[in-house]
Every structure is written in C-alpha cells, then in structure tokens.
Chain A
Amino acid sequence: MNPFLLKNLTLMLLAGCILAWVSCSKSTHPSSAIASDSPLSTNGTIEVTAKLVEIPDGAIFKRDLYDYATILKYEVLKVHRGSIVSNILYVGHYNPWKSRGAAADKRVKGIGGNLDQFRAGQTHRMALDVPIDDFFMGGIVNKYFGQNTGPLYWAVWTNLD
C-alpha cells in the first residue's frame, strides 16, 4: 500500500476515534444538546438555561395539605427556544419542596425534571410557559411581590444543568 495513503488513513482513523470519544463523553454531560423528543424540548414555549439567583426566606416550605407554587428569580445564561423580554426571569415552581420528578400530582399534571432540590446558585435548564395564570390556578407564594418582576413564568420541566 502507498505509504502516503496509509498515513492519511491512519490519521483519519485516529481523528474519527477522537471525535467519537469526544462525542460520547459529551453526551453524558447534562448540558449537552437535548434530544428533540426530550421533555425540555417538547414542553412549554420557552427553553432556557438559567442560574437560580437566590431562594428568599420562607419561599420554600413544606406544610402538608398546602399545594402551592413559589416564585424564584433566575438569571438567564442561554435561550434555547422561544424569546424572553429580560435576562432576569421570575419562575413559578409547583410544590418546590418536592423533587421535580415527584412534583406532578392529580391537580398539576405534566411537570417534571431531574432536579432533586432547589439550591441558590444552581444552573437549571427549564422548559417554561408564560403567563403563569394561564397554566396554574392555585396559591402562589411570591416573595418578590411589589417589585417589578414582569410576567411570571411557569416551570414545566426543570433539569439540573
């Protein structure tokens, strides 16, 4: 075999292996491209990656029989789908003391995600709807009441990024 051809083939094979390895290793990371049939892609009208700025005192509490949504403040890092008017979003999460995988119930269906617990500073990838009142009719705890929050968003799917 032509040594030049052999060398090129070897290089191409090596490059292919490296690409395959990089591709495989990336696919295990949560922030990788989301499959088109993922709940993040198929739910809501907006999809963002955003940093949870803070959890106000008393915004998340567990009290039996109280089903509620709480408003949390996010700083948007990337918009994957849809459009938003500000890079600060105020997002309502249903029964935030539950893991997202266990948050859906008889009253609120179709929500979920892989986030176990809300912690300030986390980065979340979320599928959202807006305004919250069109998608949730229940008690809302809004510790940002009185501030200029703009529209309140409704978290349909929330993954830890």
Chain B
Amino acid sequence: MTCLTRHSKPDPFATHLRDRCAGEWLRKLRSQAVPWIWTFILIGLWTRGVALDAWSQAADSNRDALFRLTDEVRRKGWIVFSGTTDRGDWDLFRMRPDGTERQKLVDMPEYNEGGARFSPDGGKMLFYRLPKSDELQNNEYGTGELVIARFDGSQPMVLGRDYPWASWSSDGRQLACLTPKGILIVDSDSRQVIWRLPRQGIVSQLAWSPDGRWFTGTADHLGPFWNIARMNAETGEIGALSETDRYNCTPDWVADSVRIVYARGIVPQVGGWAELWVANLDGQPPQPLYAEEGRHIYGACASPDLKHLLFTRSVADLTRVDHRDTTMAIIRWADTPMRGDDGSDLRRRLPKAPTGPRLDLGPGWEPHWTSIDLGQSVPISMIRSKPPVSVRP
C-alpha cells in the first residue's frame, strides 16, 4: 500500500498506475451502467405513462360519473334551502337539483328564514323566520315564527311562535306541532287544535310521515342520550330507530314512509363526525349512507323518487350554522354507502364503499327537495310587497 504524507514525494509510477486503474474502472462502469440506466429510464417513463393514463382514465371516469349524476337530477323538481345574502341575513332560495337556476324565493330583510317544507299537494309552503339577531341553529330554528305561504312564497301569513316544529299532514289540511305540553294537531286553515298527543320525550325536528301513520323526531328517554324516534300517530307508542349510544338528530322521512334518513351524531367525550344514516321501521339495524372524516353531515333529505340523497356538509358542528363552511351535495342512493374522503378510519369501516360521485351544490342549509314545478315565480319581499298577514292562534 502506498502511503503519502505531507512531506513525502509522489511516486510517478504509482500515480500513473492509479490513474490508469481508475480510468479503466470508470470506462468499465460506464459501459456496464449505461444499458441499466437506459432500462431504468424506460421503465420509469413507461410506469409514468401507465400511471398518467390510469389517472387520466380515472379522472375521465369520475368526470363522466359526475356528468351522469348531474344529468340524472337536472329536471327532478327543485331544491329549496336557506342561504345568506349580502345583507348578512338568511333568505330562502330555490334551485334545480343540478345547481342551476339558483334564485331567491323569499326575502325578509329583518329576519332569518329556514326550515321550508312544501305541503304534499304542492300548493303551500311553511317555513320559520327568526329575528336577524337570532342565529340559525339546527336544534332551534323550529321555535321561531311559523309562516305559511303559497308554494311560490307569495301571500305569506305569519302564524307566530305558537306552532313550533310544524309538519304537514298527508293531505296538507293539518299541521302537527311540537310543544312542551305535547304534539298538537292543528287545522292549517282555522288554526283550531283538533287533537293532541303526549310528546313522549320528542324535543325537536318533528316530521309527520307521508302516509300519516307515524311521527319522527329527536327524542329523549330512549337511551342515555338523544335518539331518532318513531311514534305511532294514533296510539302514541314510541321507540328508538337509531343507535342509542350517541347523539342523533335531524331526521326526515323518505317518501315511502318506511325509512328515515338522519344524522348519526357523535359522543361528545369521544368526538368524531356526524354521518348520514338510514333507519327502517321494519326493525333492521340502521345503516350508513354517507360519511366523511373532515365534515359533519346534517340536513338529510331523500329525493321524491327515492333515488338520490341531498344533505349538507360542514366543518363545524352544525348546532350553530355557519354559512362559510356549510355546503350542500347530492349523491345517488344506489352508490351508498359512500365515503366522502379517503380517511383511514372510514376506509377500515367501509372498505368497499366508493368515494363518489358526489355533486356539490355550493353554500346552503336545511335543504328540502320537491317535485313540484315552481315555475318562474319571483322572489317575494316582505318589505317591498304588502305586509304579511299576522294570525293569532
């Protein structure tokens, strides 16, 4: 071995030998490595091409699926929902289920409006209004002033605060209202109380089934927390349809009067995200329909033909509604259960669930889907038109 020190002279022969060896080694390496390098480059390019192609195909496929979904729902009636205005209040808007023709339906500048529901015959609409100073809350909007108007928002009548959580009967002639003293069945024209039932712990979000035989609502006394209840409208017999180990809310009937879509809530100490689930009157366990790991899913509503699901997505817990992060979306019921994202927990729970297609409809809260043709109605302004009729109970 040659050992060079700072003070030793370099050996010319050794230097020559070293350079020659190194040169040969480099030449040998180059001649052997070049084919390998080219092989790697070609494999890389091929893989990238395949990946890009697959990604492109997937993107095309997703886009096609979304187009098909959009096309499916385009002419299926209207969606009515609450949305914010430039004034900072919430008004009622309408739009086609594909997100087009978005326009204002009811405009009350001094109030926040929400909870719109059409009568089964499509002739009338009920909704609630709260003073602009009152925040909209999922658990409280139904305690505001009840307003009944024509389907296009015209001829509004303000019935006041004595009709909380009102829901239409199957023939549209009566309203069921949820009061602390019980469920009151009220004639929608005369406002006379026809009969009453004990509320059996139902506390909010009352909804009368389309066939008139059942009520649903968020209820106490069916478990340690609050649950989705179904109550026999004739006998008052009540039971839980949701899991009873967590907080559930915002139920709504599916048009078949057999299923209820609702928000399967969280356990406060544990946290998590509210998910869209369906419960069944026939006693089958409730099933997941749609979930995300970054958003709460509330305000579920099935399309009148039972083929699609409409809901809201929000980052914040929707007990208080924040328009900045509350958006609406539609999915196909046949595609459920669906994962809205690729979160690991959801992937573990629902490994075979697709992640789309989901049609995003933009900002909105508490939507309602109707097959009624709302035509070309114009927005009703309570300020610009004649004042609403107030009716005392």
Contacts and interface: CB of A to CB of B under 8 A. Distances in A.
A66 B317 CA distance: 10
Contacts of B204: 137-138
Interface string B126-144: 0000000000010110000
Contacts of B181: 134
Nearest to A144: B224
Contacts of B218: 139
Contact of B268 (A63, A67, A137, A138): A63
A118 B255 CA distance: 46
A107 to B, nearest CB: 7
B370 to A, nearest CB: 29
A142 B268 contact: no
Contact of A65 (B223, B224, B320): B320
B168 interface: no
> Dominant SS at the B interface?
loop
A21 interface: no
Interface residues of A, number: 20
Interface string A119-146: 0000000000000011111111111010
Contact of A138 (B199, B203, B317): B203
B221 interface: yes
A139 B203 CA distance: 7
A134 B201 CA distance: 10
A58 interface: yes
B317 A145 contact: no
A139 B268 contact: no
Nearest to A65: B319
Given A61-B269, A65-B320, A66-B268, A137 B224 contact: no
A61 B266 CA distance: 13
A133 B180 contact: yes
Contact of A140 (B179, B199, B220, B268): B220
B224 A143 contact: yes
Nearest to B178: A137
A138 B221 CA distance: 11
A137 B203 contact: yes
19 contacts: A61-B269, A64-B317, A65-B319, A66-B247, A66-B319, A133-B201, A134-B180, A137-B199, A137-B203, A137-B204, A138-B139, A138-B203, A139-B139, A139-B203, A139-B218, A139-B225, A140-B220, A142-B224, A145-B224
Given A66-B319, A139-B225, A142-B224, 16 more contacts: A58-B269, A61-B268, A64-B317, A65-B317, A65-B319, A107-B140, A134-B180, A135-B180, A138-B204, A139-B139, A139-B203, A140-B226, A141-B224, A142-B220, A142-B221, A143-B224
